[in-house]
Each structure stands twice: as C-alpha cells, then as structure tokens.
Amino acid sequence: MHYPVMLNESIEYLRVLPEGMYLDATAGLGSHTAAIAQRLTTGTVIANDRDAESLEICRRNTEAWAERIRYHHGAFSGLAKALGGMGIAGVDGLLADLGVSRYQLTSPERGFSLLSDGPLDMRCDRSQPETAEELLNSTNEKELADLIYRLGEERRARKIARAIVRSRPIRSTGHLARVVESVAPRTGRLHPATQTFQALRMAVNQELEELDALLEQAPGLVRTGGRMVVLTFMSLEDRKVKQSFQGLARAGRVKILTKHVVRPTEAEVRDNPPSRSAKLRAVELI
C-alpha cells in the first residue's frame, strides 16, 4: 500500500485556492496530485515526474479528476522550459516530495531495493543512458569510495569500495548487497548496504544536481503570494532546502512559513515507519 507522507500538512502549507494553478513536481503515484485536484474548481494541477512508469500509474489513480490535471514527464531541470511550453507564466504553489516511490522500491526489476534480487538499474527515468551497474563497474576505487561517503554518508566507504572493485563485475542488487555485507556487518536495524544503495541511486539520477536545479528555478516559477513546499528524507537534501530558503528570505524574496522544520506525527510514524526521517519546509513568495 502507498502512504503519502505528511499529506495533510503538505496540502495545508500549500494553501490550495480553488481557481489556482499548482505544480506537483514529484507526482509519483498521484496521492498529492489527487489531494490538490480535489480542492480545485476551475484550477489546474500539473503532475510532473521523471519516472514515466510512475506517472502512468498516477494517471490511472487520478482519472476521476483528470479534467483538472495536466501530466508531464520530465526532470526538475526541465520544469521552467516545460511550463513555458505550456504557456504557463507562473503557479500559485509548488510541491516537491523527494522521497523514493514505494512502487520503485518494491519492483525488483527497477533495481532500487536490496530486499529482492534484480538488475542493478536504479534509473528513475529509464530512457537515460547510464545504469547503476555501468557506474559501479566502471568507476575507479577512489571515486567510488568518495561517492559512497558523500552521497551515502557511509563511514565504511573505503572498505566497501575496495570490496566492490575486487568483486567486479557486479551484476545484480543481491550480489552488491552480499559484497557490502561481507565487509560491513550489520550493526543496527538497517541492512549494511542501505547507504551504499542510496549513494548509487543518487549518483545515477544526479539527484542533488536536480534538486539544485529545482531550488534555483522554483522562485521564478511561483507567483507572488504563492507557496513552495518541499519534503525531504535525507540530511543532505534538507540542508540544501534549508540554505536555499534562508538565502531567499535574506534577499527579501520569501517569508519562511516553517520556522521549525515540520516532522510527521507519532501516529503517522507508527502507521508508516519510513516516514520517520521526513522533514517539511515551506515558504511564501513576497
């Protein structure tokens, strides 16, 4: 089952106007898109996602409100051009949930999960060229260690990178998980390869670069009085969002609505444990 994280809080901070224009920059399976569309009368929500397969599921899940939704396949870095191509000068609200889709994590053939064996793919957009397998088997040991340390925040990165290089070629998620576990034994509830998988996924999809592109473009996409709401699940991403919003506030371009980061309630964490790491930040354009 798909649980949208902090759905009520996201929609509350977005402050949906019935006649407004909204951008769900990470539509996923459509939960946030549907919640926005249900509150519209003459307004429109653009459902954007870089994963064409997720977007197709979103389309099916939101068909009851399809007349209020425009679907778009693309990455953050192409949003300004995409909106211009649609003849949209600005939106009244932008929502970005940076969490990995449950559909991606539970589909072994996508290669995101270490819980079931599958190809080392990890591409959000399967039309892009490089897979995790190609990156993993071609990157030199030092660069691989740096990547795992920086994007995975994994202290054992050098040891893991050395083991990966010695075990090449690595062909599947299960193979990679076993290699990591052989040199980095389990110390807590998380599988020892979790941070390595995270780092690879982020590198393959250039997630931090795409987030930078979103944060750079977003203030120019949202109208005065409009709002930006971003949900993050990793400290690396939250730090970027926090610094961007603070910089915009110092420049007099936004008012920060979340003086303290918003976290899921105890009840939500109990019902949906992966929401534990979620953080929500919101600003209003002035």
What's the DSSP call for residue 170? Answer: P
Asked whether residue 120 is assigned to any structural domain, the reply reads: no
Pair (193, 177) in one structural domain: yes
**CATH number of the CATH domain containing 269:** 3.40.50.150
Task: Determine which helix (DSSP H) or strand (DSSP E) holds 53, and give its type and residue range.
Answer: helix 52-61
| pLDDT digit string, tens, across residues 26-85 | 999 999 999 999 999 999 999 999 999 999 999 999 999 999 999 999 999 999 999 999
Q: For the whole model, what pTM was predicted?
A: 0.94
State the Cα–Cα distance between residues 228 and 222, nearest whole angstrom: 8
173-183 vs 157-166: helix crossing angle, rounded to 10: 130
Which regions in the chain score pLDDT beneath 70?
A: 1-2
Asked whether residue 115 is assigned to any structural domain, the reply reads: no
What local confidence, expressed as pLDDT, does residue 2 receive? 61
Asked whether residue 149 is assigned to any structural domain, the reply reads: yes
State the Cα–Cα distance between residues 110 and 125, nearest whole angstrom: 10
What local confidence, expressed as pLDDT, does residue 190 receive? 87
Number of folded domains that form the chain: 2
What local confidence, expressed as pLDDT, does residue 113 receive? 86
**CATH number of the CATH domain containing 137:** 1.10.150.170
State the Cα–Cα distance between residues 157 and 253, nearest whole angstrom: 40
Asked whether residue 84 is assigned to any structural domain, the reply reads: yes
Using the 3D structure, point to which of 152, 175, 204 is the last residue of a domain. 204
Using the 3D structure, point to which of 153, 174, 204 is the last residue of a domain. 204
Asked whether residue 116 is assigned to any structural domain, the reply reads: no
Asked whether residue 110 is assigned to any structural domain, the reply reads: no
Contact 122/85 with Cβ under 8 angstroms? no
Pair (196, 221) in one structural domain: no
Asked whether residue 46 is assigned to any structural domain, the reply reads: yes
Pair (197, 269) in one structural domain: no
What local confidence, expressed as pLDDT, does residue 109 receive? 87
State the Cα–Cα distance between residues 253 and 223, nearest whole angstrom: 11
Distances (CA, A) of 206 to 71, 75, 193, 258, 280: 23, 10, 20, 27, 22
CA dihedral 14, 16, 20, 24 (to 10 degrees): 50
Using the 3D structure, point to which of 204, 225, 259 is the last residue of a domain. 204
In angstroms, the first-to-last Cα distance of the chain is 39
Q: Which domain holds residue 192?
A: 129-204
Both tokens of residue 2?
């798909």
